[in-house]
Amino acid sequence: MTTTKDDVKRQFGANAEKYATSKTHALGSDLQIVLAYLEAQPHMRVLDVATGAGHTAAMIAPWVEHVTASDLSPEMIEQTKKLFASKGLSNTDAVVVDVEALEFPDNTFDAVTCRIAPHHFLDIQKAVDEIARVLKPGGAFILEDSASPQSKRLDRFVNSLEKLRDPTHVRAYTKREWRRMLIHSGLRVVRSELYRKTHNVEDWMTNSGCSEELKQQVRTMFVQAPDIAKVYYAIEISDGKPVSYTDDKLILKAVKR
């Protein structure tokens, strides 16, 4: 079945509170890498797209003039507003906006950030085009997202695994695919790196609202993974059950020409 935006809104709306408390999204050294790539300045106006529960936007806010957090899910935006209020942030706003149709004028923002979300975008090139459109000339797009390796077998395994856990997963792209999309939108990659992130399998499944039946299917896929995937993704098995695995996150900075 083809995933729709209503499917995405339902999926993330139903699990908004889980994302608000998720250690994967709220914590981690990758947040500091994203902030370092941003090279925040006091005059900057930043848009954080697909903000989820607002963790990235809240981290950036103290360093810039203003942050707008946007997301397709109204429930996620409510969680973002709660986070902003709990931190006493007054230079922020949070709005329900589709990344494929950003409701902002051309050349509005000094930077756009997006962390651990584009693998859910239904039309990824349209989303990247919109991000480039709202950036000022010379503005920066800071991306972090799950990445597929160049190996077709490993690519197929990780994307099949993600799709099984969460049907709204579209694709984790390779570094080469990201460069091609960014160039198409008039963005030039100036810095990038791959970051390895370890996930507790049970927490990872719970965050997406997996049923117990679906959890068992995911566990089986880990246990029956080909050796090349078990090694590359450092799949840890204990007493016949998967405990953790480690995937790739691509972090990059691209500048609007």
24-68 residue pLDDT tens: 655 578 899 999 999 999 999 999 999 999 999 999 999 999 999
* Dist. CA 179–CA 190, nearest whole Å: 11
At 19, the pLDDT band (50, 70, 90 cuts) reads low
Is 28 inside any structural domain? yes
CATH of the domain at 80: 3.40.50.150
- Give the global pTM: 0.92
Q: Is residue 94 part of a domain?
A: yes
Residue 106: give the domain boundaries: 5-149+168-197+248-256
pLDDT at 4: 84
pLDDT at 9: 73
- Provide CB contacts within 8 A for 199, sequence distance 6+: 24, 244, 245, 246, 247
**Domain for residue 222, yes or no?**
no
Mean pLDDT of 208-233: 96
Helices (H) and strands (E) in the chain, counts: 12, 8
The confidence score (pLDDT) of residue 190 equals 98
